[in-house]
Amino acid sequence: MASDDGFDLGQLSETQQQALQQYTDVTGQEIKDAVPLLQRSQWNIQVRRMLDQFRAVCTVTYQD
């Protein structure tokens, strides 16, 4: 399965796809730009935790 950017998402594990989805949802970054960054960080779990925390803060902010 290829993204609109031509990147083959089928090359990624399910965990990597989830991390990519979360990262691009929060940052709005294009897949073609996000994948190299996540690869450099070795799909670091800290990136996912950061995004989860960011999402939680945004959810709380918008609920108030």
Whole-number pLDDT of residue 8: 82
Please say whether the beta carbons of 13 and 42 come within 8 A.
no
Which two tokens mark 61?
Answer: 């902010």
Under 8 Å between Cβ of 22 and 52? yes
Return per-residue pLDDT of the chain as tens, 64 residues.
Answer: 455 556 788 888 888 888 889 889 988 999 989 988 888 776 666 667 777 888 887 766 655 5
Note the pLDDT of residue 30.
Answer: 92
pLDDT reported for residue 29: 92
Q: Identify the pLDDT of residue 16.
A: 83
Which one, of 44, 36, 30, lies nearest residue 11 by Cα? 36
8 A C-beta contact, residue 49 and residue 22: no
The pLDDT, as a whole number, for residue 61 is 60
